[in-house]
Chains A and B, each alone.
Chain A
Amino acid sequence: METIVCSKVCKQYGTKQVLKEIDLTLEKGKIYGLIGRNGAGKTTLLSILSSQNPLSSGTVTWNGEAIWENQHALNHICFSRELSPNLIGNNGNNMKIKEYLNIASYYYPNWDKKMAQDLVEKFELNIKQKISKLSKGMLSMVTIIVALASKADFTFLDEPVAGLDIVIREYFYKRLLEEYMETGRTFVISTHIIEEASDLFEEVIVIKKGELLLKENTQELLSRAFRISGLSEVVDQMTNGYKKYHEEQIGRRKSVTIFLKGKEELPKEYDVTIQPLNLQSIFISLCGMEE
């Protein structure tokens, strides 16, 4: 099976360690959600997985071939970076949407021109407009167009829905699913709007402060996370032996998040309130601020 394998990847900017020994395998034909707080290393990871950024140590391979400066491998990988009005070109970018898409069409060998045109129409973009004049939402639309039309087997999107209104976000999710079901391409999508995208993700990858915290089937993760609340002592008895996350105590009442392992079942004999958690709440439990 086609894979991208990342092994012991570290990245350092000066003295700052941004990624720490990341081991990760991406399989063909899955939609992955990549979540982490601001500065956790999501963008750095995606740029390393697509060879847009050199790693400090470790290896990244596509089907066993190192991807660094390997055009054959990179033909299968697309990282549609978040655009900013002044990132590209020489001071104050004068490139038009049309020109930007044109460059992308040369860069990706399987570029789907018809799809790009169709998306431009759906998003009601004026291709004669300059990138520097686009709103945040319009910049996201351009990155989405590049990602989908690239037709790359492995496509990474960095916060594709930032600044988009809910109608366009929903349209994007459906369009992405459609493309995925037709082609079986792999998508890795980083997002901060976790809840509305969580059902798209077959697997979720969580990174925290440059470390890979977990990579798991989304439904399985959801089925083993619970928030237990009740009388403090009872909650303690019941959750004894579990690692506790996101503990909150108000008077005699305590709430805590636990994760069951494998096929374990929750102990039943305690008088507590048990709530299943959604992905967003799980993320807060794992990566929330410590008080």
Chain B
Amino acid sequence: MNGILTQEKSIYLQISEMIETDILRDILLEEERVPSTNELAKIYAINPATAAKGINVLVDSGILYKKRGIGMFVAAGAKEQILKRRKEAFYNDFIKKLLHEAASIGLDKEQVIQMIRLGEEKQSSKRREG
């Protein structure tokens, strides 16, 4: 678990996203137990009902599953599923906003594409220097 809770998003969504990110980064592995509602509540000093809501979002989407009397576990295939969903969300969360912002400051499509290429080059040269 890492990251700090901010005010921009509801706490329970931040909790579920943090667990997802930990799964993507192999901090939490598939078929492994995730921190309990009470553990999360204590770590982040939040109401356990809110922590439970964050966990339930992931149970509903099949990322986590419950083992009776033991706790919540990362489902098999969870990582792949999170990746797939994040890719879908990428369009809504980033591309749409990017285009909207670009239009409002008068950047045309070509300029935006050029910037993306520039960003790409910088990233790969940074990686080479690594």
Alpha-carbon distance A174/B5, docked complex (angstroms)? 16
Q: Interface residues of B, CB < 8 Å — how many?
A: 18
Alpha-carbon distance A178/B43, docked complex (angstroms)? 11
| B11 interface residue per 8 A CB criterion | yes
B 24-47 binary contact with A (CB < 8 Å = 1; else 0): 000000000000001001101111
CB closest chain-A residue, reference B44? A199
Q: Give A contacts to B, CB under 8 Å.
A: 31, 170, 173-174, 177-178, 180-181, 195, 199-202, 218-219, 222-223, 276, 278
A170 touches B48 (CB 8 A): no
Alpha-carbon distance A276/B50, docked complex (angstroms)? 18
Alpha-carbon distance A178/B39, docked complex (angstroms)? 10
A222 touches B45 (CB 8 A): no
Interface majority SS (helix, strand, loop, mixed), chain B: helix
User: Could you list some 23 contacts between A and B, CB below 8 A?
Assistant: A174-B45, A177-B41, A181-B48, A195-B7, A199-B5, A199-B11, A199-B44, A199-B45, A199-B46, A199-B50, A200-B46, A200-B47, A201-B47, A202-B47, A202-B49, A219-B12, A219-B50, A219-B53, A223-B10, A276-B8, A276-B9, A276-B10, A278-B7
Shortest beta-carbon distance, A268 to chain B, in Å?
12
CB closest chain-A residue, reference B43? A174
- A219-B10, A222-B10, A278-B7 known; A181 and B38 CB under 8 Å? yes
B46 proximity list for chain A (CB < 8 A): 199-200
A222 proximity list for chain B (CB < 8 A): 10
Q: Which 9 A-B pairs have the closest CB atoms?
A: A199-B46, A278-B7, A173-B45, A202-B47, A181-B38, A202-B49, A199-B11, A177-B41, A200-B47
Shortest beta-carbon distance, B42 to chain A, in Å?
6
B12 proximity list for chain A (CB < 8 A): 219
Q: Give B contacts to A, CB under 8 Å.
A: 5, 7-12, 38, 41-42, 44-50, 53
Shortest beta-carbon distance, A273 to chain B, in Å?
11
A181 touches B41 (CB 8 A): yes
Shortest beta-carbon distance, B105 to chain A, in Å?
13
Known: A199-B45, A202-B50. 7 other contacts (CB 8 A): A31-B47, A174-B42, A181-B41, A200-B45, A202-B49, A219-B12, A222-B10
B45 proximity list for chain A (CB < 8 A): 170, 173-174, 177, 199-200
A223 proximity list for chain B (CB < 8 A): 10
Partner of B11, one of A174, A195, A219: A219
Alpha-carbon distance A278/B7, docked complex (angstroms)? 6
Alpha-carbon distance A173/B46, docked complex (angstroms)? 9
Shortest beta-carbon distance, B9 to chain A, in Å?
8
Shortest beta-carbon distance, B47 to chain A, in Å?
5
A195 proximity list for chain B (CB < 8 A): 7
Alpha-carbon distance A219/B52, docked complex (angstroms)? 12
CB closest chain-B residue, reference A171? B45
Alpha-carbon distance A181/B41, docked complex (angstroms)? 9
